[in-house]
Chain A
Amino acid sequence: MSERLGVTPAQTVGPYLHIGLRWPDGSYVVPEGTPGAFWIRGRIVDGTGAPVVDALVESWQADPEGRFDHPDDPRGARPSSVPGFRGFGRSETDAAGEYALLTVRPGALPAPNGETEAPHLTLSVFARGLLHRVVTRLYFPDEPAANAADPVLCSVDADRRDTLVAGPTSDGFRFDIRLQGEHETVFFAV
């Protein structure tokens, strides 16, 4: 048996996160011009509704076939059929607290007990004032049947589920994140 070590504690990214975490291609989960690609945009707000202008959103998702190019996917690592698919996105918020990610819709995923997870992105939010990232999920509004059967969505209080479902826009979807307050986004312990 190997030695068990305590994890290194998290600390805030602070207000100068852009120095270390800015990627020119961060927003592009898929390259510009990818067929079927759309923008996910949203605003991050604090408990007073004020935009959080120094936050960073990171996304992680399966490819359109519901596969990951990762050795711990028990179905086997498989490069995506979408050229340039990274699965990962990173967008800082702007002066209006807005982030933006260009991506494609992930496929549904099998779960260990035979259930099926609806198409979703997992998101991390980092910011000054967040001592640890907060984690949420984004689901799609035009998947009502899949969403209704999703085990994670079903585990959330019915009156808060809508905080995890994006809204449609002209070029994709909108997903605002409310860090605290009346319509606080559901955040997960992962």
Chain B
Amino acid sequence: MTQETVRPTDGGLTLPQYRRDDVDAHPPLLSPGYGSTVLRAPQRPLTYLPQRLTEVTGPLLGEGRVGELDHDLTRQHGAEPQGQRIIVHGRVLDGDGRPVPHTLVEIWQANAAGRYRHVIDTWPAPLDPHFEGVGRALTDEHGRYRFITIQPGAYPWKNHDNAWRPAHIHFSLFGRAFTQRLVTQMYFPGDPLFFQDPIFNSVRDPKARERMVARYDHAVTAPSWALAYEFDIVLRGRESTPFEDGDDDE
């Protein structure tokens, strides 16, 4: 589904326009296999919202929001946490492959035993006094980010009989416009728990699901120190304007 670029008019206000997502790009809000959607997903069809000034601008956060050790989840609480140390890196891109520079990336995750440091997570797996599970980073001028953390564990939940969430890291992205805001989860390649996870499988297109799975990246591992995964995140791209298309052949 696409939308025409808004042309200049008597007001002279020309706004960038972002491509609307394909129907299968994101999970349907009502995905009954994930029980919590049943009473929370809106039932009425969404109303079309033109992308106007409020939607094509957005918070350009970063300065002052990221501390010196926020990208390194293994050095935030005195000693090192238990678990397999990993580097998680990648780029934030738009749908045309253009890097999104200087944008805030926020992550959170369970510890190596699959336990969150959260008052409502009470399953009998150990907490780790040296792991909080929250990270922040800004992308550089090439859209690159890099975290150091530990491999999160899988954990049980009550969605269905013997339900387990595959190991994952939550990612929150802003891009440069309200329309690009995205919260997603990064999964690990080959996880045997995918088959029974209704959140991962709520994305119906298998190719789209694969975009949530990181790639093991041996080239970026730190010898005798840490394994590495690469996870590129793609936010919406812009509609091209006639101006920008001027050089293209018909």
Residues of A within 8 A of B135 (CB): 20
A93 to B82, CA, bound (A): 32
Q: Is A11 an interface residue (CB 8 A)?
A: yes
Q: Of the candidates A7, A69, A113, A122, which one forms a contact with B234 in the assembled complex, judged by CB atoms under 8 Å apart?
A: A7
Q: Interface readout for A106-117 with B: 1 if CB under 8 Å, 0 if not?
A: 000111111001
Check B178 against A8 for contact (C-beta < 8 Å): no
Residues of A within 8 A of B26 (CB): 7, 9-10, 131-132
Check B20 against A189 for contact (C-beta < 8 Å): yes
Check A130 against B40 for contact (C-beta < 8 Å): yes
Q: Is B134 an interface residue (CB 8 A)?
A: yes
Q: Of the candidates A20, A114, A188, which one forms a contact with B9 in the assembled complex, judged by CB atoms under 8 Å apart?
A: A114
Check B203 against A114 for contact (C-beta < 8 Å): no
Check B40 against A188 for contact (C-beta < 8 Å): no
A70 to B56, CA, bound (A): 9
Q: Is B126 an interface residue (CB 8 A)?
A: no
Residues of A within 8 A of B20 (CB): 189
Q: Given A19-B117, A48-B39, A122-B54, do A60 and B183 touch, yes or no (CB 8 Å)?
A: no
Q: Is A152 an interface residue (CB 8 A)?
A: yes
Check A179 against B41 for contact (C-beta < 8 Å): yes
Q: Given A6-B234, A47-B40, do A111 and B13 touch, yes or no (CB 8 Å)?
A: yes
Q: Is B51 an interface residue (CB 8 A)?
A: yes
Check B10 against A72 for contact (C-beta < 8 Å): no
Contact-size category for B: 35 or more
Q: Is A82 an interface residue (CB 8 A)?
A: no
CB distance from B48 to the nearest CB of A (A): 6
CB distance from B158 to the nearest CB of A (A): 11
Q: Interface readout for B222-244 with A: 1 if CB under 8 Å, 0 if not?
A: 00000000000111110000000
Residues of A within 8 A of B (CB-CB), count: 76
Check A5 against B54 for contact (C-beta < 8 Å): no
Q: Of the candidates A113, A122, A132, which one forms a contact with B11 in the assembled complex, judged by CB atoms under 8 Å apart?
A: A113
Q: Is A140 an interface residue (CB 8 A)?
A: no
A86 to B51, CA, bound (A): 21
Q: Which of B20, B26, B212 has the most CB of A within 10 A?
A: B26
Q: Given A20-B107, A70-B60, A188-B46, do A5 and B183 touch, yes or no (CB 8 Å)?
A: no
DSSP majority for the A interface? Answer: loop
A75 to B176, CA, bound (A): 17
CB distance from A151 to the nearest CB of B (A): 7
Check B211 against A9 for contact (C-beta < 8 Å): yes
Q: Is B164 an interface residue (CB 8 A)?
A: no
A75 to B49, CA, bound (A): 21
Residues of A within 8 A of B116 (CB): 16, 19
Residues of A within 8 A of B179 (CB): 190
Report the nearest A residue to B107, measured CB to CB. Answer: A20
Q: Is B190 an interface residue (CB 8 A)?
A: no
Residues of B within 8 A of A158 (CB): none
Q: Which of A6, A73, A120 has the most CB of B within 10 A?
A: A6
Check B183 against A10 for contact (C-beta < 8 Å): yes
Q: Interface readout for B208-220 with A: 1 if CB under 8 Å, 0 if not?
A: 1101100000000
Residues of A within 8 A of B22 (CB): 6
A46 to B39, CA, bound (A): 6
Q: Interface readout for B3-30 with A: 1 if CB under 8 Å, 0 if not?
A: 0001111111111100011100111110
What are 29 contact pairs spanning A and B, CB under 8 A? A4-B96, A7-B25, A7-B236, A8-B211, A8-B235, A9-B27, A9-B184, A9-B208, A11-B27, A12-B36, A19-B108, A109-B52, A112-B9, A112-B52, A114-B11, A129-B37, A129-B39, A131-B41, A134-B29, A135-B49, A152-B49, A152-B52, A155-B47, A181-B43, A187-B47, A188-B48, A190-B49, A190-B178, A190-B179
- Apart from A133-B183, A152-B50, what 10 extra A-B contacts exist at CB < 8 Å? A6-B22, A12-B199, A47-B43, A60-B57, A109-B52, A117-B52, A129-B36, A131-B34, A131-B202, A180-B41
Residues of B within 8 A of A (CB): 6-16, 20-22, 25-29, 31, 34, 36-44, 46-61, 65, 93, 95-98, 106-108, 110, 116-118, 120-121, 132-135, 170, 172, 176-179, 181-185, 199-200, 202-203, 207-209, 211-212, 233-237, 248
